[in-house]
Amino acid sequence: MRDNRDAEAVPAPDGGVGVHAYAPGEVVRINLRIAGVPYRGVVRAHRDVGGRRAYDLFRYPRLDIAPHGWYWWDPERMTRRDYRRPEA
């Protein structure tokens, strides 16, 4: 049975057009579920398409080997914590 709380995957953009990449010090964390499994994702980039935001996420537990992918932001299915420092 599919968990209706799962994040909705988005195809990767062609050629990176319209993508905003995050710097290593810009830490934004998103908790989400994929195939019923909870993950913590760290945002690599985002893009806006048709009034919606999609995030490219590295998924924990290990960033060096964890799969990554693009997912639509959904405040009802995800939680977001922004640890970026405000601009001076």
Q: Which residues of 34-73 are buried (b: 16+ CB within 10 A; e: fewer)?
A: beeeebbbbbbebbeeeeeebbbbbbeeeeeeeeebbbeb
16, 7, 20, 1: which is closest to 78 by C-alpha? 7
User: In order of start, what are the domains of the chain with their CATH numbers?
Assistant: 9-82 (2.30.30)
pLDDT of residue 25: 81
Tell me the per-residue pLDDT of 15-74, one tens digit each, with 9 for 90 and over: 877 899 998 888 899 999 888 888 889 999 999 998 999 999 988 766 666 678 999 999
Here the tokens at position 18 are 């319209």
